[in-house]
Amino acid sequence: MPILQVTLSGPADAAKAAAVAARLSALTAEHLNKDPALTSVAVTFLPAAHWFVGGPSLETAGLASFWLDIAVVDGTNTKDQKAAYIAAVFAAMAGEIGPLHSESYIHVREVKADAYGYGG
């Protein structure tokens, strides 16, 4: 734990996926104190022409966007840590994928420790 699922607007790009995964893993360690060796990141891409915010597509708006869902064990991070993480991720993603639509989202989802597992 944690597991991060991030969707990026734009065409699939392996180099960009690797850069985003590395950056998110580093920010997750820095702000949420999660071990990078146990951090899993899944990156998907969605064409900007297929992503709509308030009506127009991101392609029409000329902006990028992302959606990050991260699952962490409940009670392991404070409200301030989560707020700092959200701010840092938003700033970093602008650098990774370009000018962002303000309606880009980060969801820090807290799950019960006994409700997940890995490695069998």
Give a yes or no: residue 102 inside a domain: yes
Give a yes or no: residue 93 inside a domain: yes
Give a yes or no: residue 119 inside a domain: no
Give a yes or no: residue 76 inside a domain: yes
Encode pLDDT of 69-111 as tens digits. Answer: 999 999 999 999 999 999 999 999 999 999 999 999 999 999 9
Give a yes or no: residue 90 inside a domain: yes
CATH value at residue 13: 3.30.429.10
With 0-12 CB in 10 A as exposed, 13-18 as middle and 19+ as buried, what is 117? exposed
Give a yes or no: residue 42 inside a domain: yes
- Structural domain harbouring 85: 3-112
Domain count, the chain: 1
Rounded to two decimals, the pTM is: 0.94
